[in-house]
Each structure stands twice: as C-alpha cells, then as structure tokens.
Structure 1
Amino acid sequence: IPLRVSRRDLVFCLTALLIFCLGSVFYQLNGGAPKVLLDVGYYLGRFADGHGPLAPRALPFPSQVVYNRVGKCGSRTIVLLLRMLVDRHRFTLISSDIHNKTRLTKREQENLIRNISTTPQPFLYTRHVHFLNFSRFRTDEPVHINIIRDPINRFLSNYFFRRFGDWRGEENHVVRTPGMKDDERYLDMNTCILESYPECSNPRLFYIIPYFCGQHPQCREPGLWALETAKQNVLDHYLLVGVLEELEDVLLLLERLLPHFFSDVVNIYKSPEYRKLGNMTGTVRKQIPNLEALQVLYERMEYEYKFYNFVKAQFHLTKRKIGLRSDPKPSRPYSSVLQRKDLQEELEEEDTEDSLEWTEQT
C-alpha cells in the first residue's frame, strides 16, 4: 500500500528536521545545549507525570572546589574577589577564619573533610591548611586550586607584616602579635638572617611545600621526600596552581577553567570598586636585606625554589594549552645575581595578600 503524505505533513517533518539539525550544530559550537532547551527539558520533565516535585537542576562541573590558600601569596585578593562574585554566580563560599592551625590530627582531618563535603553545592571552601587528601577518607575528591609566589618575597612580606601590619592601619600588628617585644619587632632583618635567628632559618623557611605535601609529619621536614610528594600532589590533585607574579593570568585561567565561580573576575579585578578595597592590604615598612643576606636566604630556601620553579613551569604549560599568550613578568634572578634594583621594584609593587598568623610556623 503506497504511503500517502500530505504536503502539510511533509512541511512539518522537514521543519522538525531542520530545527533538530540547527540545534545540534548550536550544541556543538557552544559546548552544550542552549539554556532555553535545558529549561524546556526541565519543565517537560516536571509535568511529565502531572504531579510530583521538580526535578533537580544539574550542578555545574566541578561543583566542589577547595582553595587551601598559602599565607602571603595573594589569598586576600582572591577571597575579596570571590565575595564580590558569590551572589552573581550563586555558589556557596566558606572562608574559614582559622589562620593558625594548618596541621591536623587524623580525627580533625576526617571531621573537616566531612564538614566540607556536606556543604551545599556548588561550593568553594578556602582556609590556610596543608593539603587534605579526601580519597584517603573515601570521600569524593574536590577540585583543588592555589597560588604561590617567589619564596623570598613571600618571606619578606610576612616578616614585615607581622611586625607593622598593612595600610588598613598599622595598629593591626598589635592585635596579631600582642606578645612581641620591641627588640624583636624592630630586629634588623640582616641580623636575623646572618646570625641565624629561628625566624630566619630552617625549618621555618620551609613554608610553601608543606601546603602541597600534606599532613604527613615528614612533609614538614626540609628534604627531597617532601618536595617530590608536593610535586606529585600538584600533578594528581590540583586543577591549577598559579604564581602571584602573574596574577592577572591566574585570574584569566580561573575564568576559563572554573567559569561558574570566576566568570568576569578579571573585569572586577580591574574595576575601581575593587582597587579601592585591594589597595588597603599592602604590607608597610618593607625593607630589603643586603646581598649577602639574600644569598644566604636563597641557599636556605633551596627546596622552596625548586618547587616554585616546578609550579611556574606547570603554570606556563597550562597557559600554552589554553592558548593564553600574555607576556609573563620577568623572573627575579635570586639564584645568580640577586639584583637589589630588581628586588626594590618587586617590594614597591602593590601587595594584596591575605594575613597569616606567625604561630602557624611555631
């Protein structure tokens, strides 16, 4: 029996096919279905059986992000930006006020991981804490992000910040270090370094690596084991570890890799509203050690610089993969010449990092 198709039916079928083809092309070009189609599917599912609760909307991927921020490495900048983004992108931001407990017992790790994992998704959790291995406690692994900076510059920023605070008010240092005596507060940095005061020598200079090595006691011992463990954790667990010297590129990558959390962050970072707030967090009264003290400091930070250079190479590799072609800031040649002029320029730049109690290292 010949199949009879009216002209009206044929036009309907061809129109439906055309819409399907255009929708498919649109889907592929934009990395997914357009929002209108998702909304249509959502409400069709809602009314499919005529009753019942709404079907849950799909969460963005990834929907769990942990930023175990390193002290004096730009974390105040990132947290400030996140607070300006949280309402716009509708995610949960938990910024812990605990600054002086980076190392946890097994029970404390388990409790913290459980609390983080039960946060309404999508969420971003941030705290000064050494790397937490979620898989060790059979919990879904979140995405980890972080930022580090040149180790000597991080040390200098912390040294003067804990003594004299920042532009929000120099009296802040009294709150952070109320028990510090004047002879310690005004201790000359060259004396501290060259005479090997505890504050200016290992193990307190071994600071950045433990944030990536983890909670194992050996992670706090300057050496090859902690260095290699930290490197492997970066490769296995971190979506991105940026360098503060290229902060704008870090923000651009966060926009592309985690758009649900960081979309439009660069525009906010460049806005007058942010600049007014960000300029208040620069450390005051910074000074430069002499070349002899800098050389000693660099030698004591051998493993820190090996890790920093590894992270910077991985960061530049990620930039190339994403197609980001910005000009990186020239590296400071601490390993060779240690130019005073270069260091002076570095110290005079805006210092927008989070505060961190010195008791973390005691």
Structure 2
Amino acid sequence: MMKNYSNSPRNKNQTLNHTRDRNNKKSNGLSATLLRFSLRDYGFCMATLFLFCFGSLFYQLNGGPPKILLEIRQYLGVFGKSHWPNRMAWRHSVHRDRQGKASHLAFKKENKGDSTFIDDHGPPAPKVLPFPSQVVYNRVGKCGSRTVVLLLRILAERHQFNLVSSDIHNKTRLTKHEQVDLMRNISNIPQPFLYTRHVHFLNFTRFRIEQPVYINIIRDPINRFLSNYFFRRFGDWRGEQNHLVRTPGMKDDERYLDINVCILENYPECSNPRLFYIIPYFCGQHPQCRDPGLWALERAKQNVLENFLLVGILEELEDVLLLLERLLPHFFTDVLSIYKSPDYRKMGNMTGTVRKHTPTLEALQVLYQRMRYEYDFYTFIRDQFHLMKKKIGLRSVSRPTHQPNFLLNLALKTQEPLEEEEEEEEQELEEDIEDANSWLVQP
C-alpha cells in the first residue's frame, strides 16, 4: 500500500519552496529585463541630450542650422502639410528704437513647418542709427535756404536719409494744436531724417516729445530785407512769375515802389514790425516773440545755445557747409564738393533775386536803427559761429565778414579792454578750444 505524501507537511513545504524559488527566478528575470531597458533608455536620453547641446552650439557658432537639418525640416514640413491639417502659428517681431525699447509689434501668420529667415538666422540686426538722427532745419526766408535745400536733395539720395521738405512758406506761427500736430508728424518720420520748413522754433520738450537737433543759417539783416523786398516784386532768375506765388494780386504801384520811399516814408512793409523777422525763428511760438524787444532777443539767444547744433551765417556759406559736414557727417559728407561742382553751380545760380539794388545811405541808416535788435542777434550768431570754427580748428575757406562803413560809424563805441583782460580772454579761449567739442565726429 502506497503512502500518499501529498498531504504530508514535508511535501507541502517542498512544494511551497519550489513555488517560491520559481517566483523568485521570474522576479529576478523581470528585474534584470527592466534594468536592461532602463539603462538603454537612459543612454538614449543622454545621447539625445548630447546631440541637442552639440547641435545648439553648432547652430549658434555658424549663425544657423546645418544644411541637413534644413532639408529634414523642409521634408517634414511638406509631409506634415500633405497629411495633417495646417496649423497656424503666430510670430511677432519687435522693432526697437535706439534706446532699446520696444516701439511696436508687427504680427504675421505663417504655416507651421515652413522655414523662415527669422527661424533660421534669428531676427535681423537692428539698424544702427547715427547720432543725432533727428534734425530740423527751420529755415529763415531769404537766407540761402533754397540753396541748402537743393544740396539736401542730392545728399539725401546719396546718403540714404529721409528728407522731408514742407511746401508751406507763409505760416511760421502756429496755434498750440497746430504745434502739437506738426511735432508729432515730425517725430513719426523714419529715422534718420532731416525736416525743413519755414517755421518759428518749436519747443518739443514742452509737450513731452523728444527734442530734435536744430540747425539754421541767417544773414546780414539789411541784406536779407533787401533780398526779400525785390524777390516779392520781381522773383529770381528762374522767371519773374515766381513772385506771383509769394505776392498774388500785387498792384503795379506797389510793385514798382521805390525802396527809399518805402523806408523814409514809413510804409508798413519797411516799418519796425515787418523788419523784426529773424529773431522770431529762434525765439519761438510765444506771442511776445513777435514784438521787437529785449525779451524776444534774449530768449532767442538762449534757445540757440540750448537747442541749436549750429547756426551759420550766409556770408561764410562754405565754412557753414564744412562745419555741417564735420558735425553731421551722415547727412552732409561731400556737401562742399557738391556745392562747388559745375552742375550744382548751374542750378544754384538760378535762385538769385533779380533787379536788386542798394538804397541810399540815409535809408540804410534808418533801416539799421529800426533793426538794432536784429543786428544784435546777428552779431551774437556771428561771434558764436567764429568761436565754433576756432574750437574745431577749422581752416576757413570763406572770406571773413566785415560790417559796412556806415554800420561801423553807427555802432556804439565801447571802451578798449585792458592788457590784463586781453590776456585772460586769450587764455579762456585756448582752454575752450582744448576742452570743448571732444565728442565731434571727424569726417
């Protein structure tokens, strides 16, 4: 009779041990398999990370991805567009101004998977703007402004800056609303720009708008008055019809009015308010700037010192052009060579006023007395201009201006300085020449 060991305690223990061993072997095998897969996945991840880092470094060093990646991307883009619906991705490019601040966002749509210049090479480098990049030439009438504008048209095309020349010639004083509108329009011109118009000085900072750099040119006040007087009547060498633009409907008795009669008999055109013309261009839009007096004179001088890079004198125009080329090379490089070229001379000679003649000495003396504030300002500008030339070390190509004899006789006599005062002035001038204008850009 055979014994049944299946129910015995010993057999039960052996069976349990055998089952436990088999389970342990399965567990060990599964653990080894999982460990083997984990190491492989870990190695794959590390290799992928290494390739990504290497590719990123290669991308940055070479300014873009390698050709093979572009081909793969293009392939994936074509494949993706043919098998899946198009997905639209929004991109934006930020245009920054010269302070590095975002000025506007321009959004555009593009298909996902397409290769673009921005994706492959990054955003384009911001355009380096010259300093200053905003220039306003509030040109004074009959002070060579048409000559300079002709030069600016040639220079703008050559040096690729924006030249905006206003066609408004008879509105120099503006209301507050008109001032704000004009200043905002000027500020919105793409930089670098040069804006020119017959307009009295505009104070941009008063309305919290960035102030541009001003330049201008003036001339001897009596010469300016004479040029304007005859131009209104007879135009220039381009044709006598030009005066019709400035003085429509002028009657013959007024057109052929003798200038000596106009001055000596106090015609409105030759009286004090009409002769106070240059200073308001530098004083500004304040109503008191229109009244001949010390307040407007001093304010004009202050604005010149604070807001004008250069105010030249027409009598030394070639030196003015040289200084503009030195101070603003990105606008005025080669301006003097253009001015002296035969082609420009042929055009520039057409802007001269015709039928102009000099009044009598008596009339000139009356004019000078009426224009004493204008001459005070002109002398101030001339001295500042000559000082600027000395500071920069500019060798003059123009003849220095001299006052007519009758003006020298009329001028107030001043006491000659003592020798000590002369030495102090010379020493101060030498120090100014050494220290000032170290920021100027050499041409």
TM-score (norm 1): 0.79
Alignment of 1:170-189 (within 5 A): 170-189=240-259
Give unmatched runs, 5+ long, in structure 2.
1-116, 411-443
Give the distance between the partners of 1:109 and 1:294, measured in 2 at CA.
37
CA gap of 1:114–1:309, structure 2 versus 1, over 3 A, is: same
Give the distance between the partners of 1:206 and 1:118, measured in 2 at CA.
33
Shift of 1:173: 1.8
Q: Which letter does structure 2 place at the counterpart of 1:97? A: D
Q: Which of 160, 165, 168 is matched with 1:98 structurally?
A: 168
Q: Which of 109, 122, 144 is matched with 2:192 structurally?
A: 122
Give the distance between the partners of 1:80 and 1:235, measured in 2 at CA.
27
Alignment of 1:13-162 (within 5 A): 50-162=120-232
Give the distance between the partners of 2:301 and 2:408, measured in 1 at CA.
24
Give the distance between the partners of 1:78 and 1:184, measured in 2 at CA.
31
Give the distance between the partners of 2:261 and 2:133, measured in 1 at CA.
48
Give the distance between the partners of 2:357 and 2:315, measured in 1 at CA.
19
Query: What is the aligned residue count?
Result: 293
Give the distance between the partners of 1:166 and 1:314, measured in 2 at CA.
31
Q: Which letter does structure 1 place at the counterpart of 2:178? A: E
Give the distance between the partners of 2:254 and 2:241, measured in 1 at CA.
17
Q: Which of these two proteins has the greater Rg computed from alpha carbons?
A: 2
Partner of 2:85: none
Partner of 1:302: 372
Give the distance between the partners of 1:274 and 1:325, measured in 2 at CA.
24
Give the distance between the partners of 2:208 and 2:133, measured in 1 at CA.
18
Q: Which of 325, 330, 349 is matched with 2:401 structurally?
A: 330
Give the distance between the partners of 1:282 and 1:174, measured in 2 at CA.
16
Shift of 1:179: 1.1
Shift of 1:49: 8.4
Q: Which letter does structure 2 place at the counterpart of 1:159? A: Y
By relative contact order (CA 8 Å, sep 6+), the higher-ranking structure is 1
Provide the aligned C-alpha RMSD in A: 1.6
CA gap of 1:55–1:330, structure 2 versus 1, over 3 A, is: closer
Give the distance between the partners of 1:75 and 1:172, measured in 2 at CA.
16
Partner of 2:55: none
Give the distance between the partners of 1:167 and 1:83, measured in 2 at CA.
20
TM-score (norm 2): 0.64
Shift of 1:99: 0.3
Give unmatched runs, 5+ long, in structure 1.
1-46, 339-362
Q: Which of 296, 318, 321 is matched with 1:248 structurally?
A: 318
Assess if the C-alpha contact under 8 Å between 2:136 and 2:212 holds in 1: yes
Give the distance between the partners of 1:110 and 1:180, measured in 2 at CA.
34
Partner of 1:354: none
Q: Residue 336 of structure 1 aligns to a residue in which SS?
A: helix
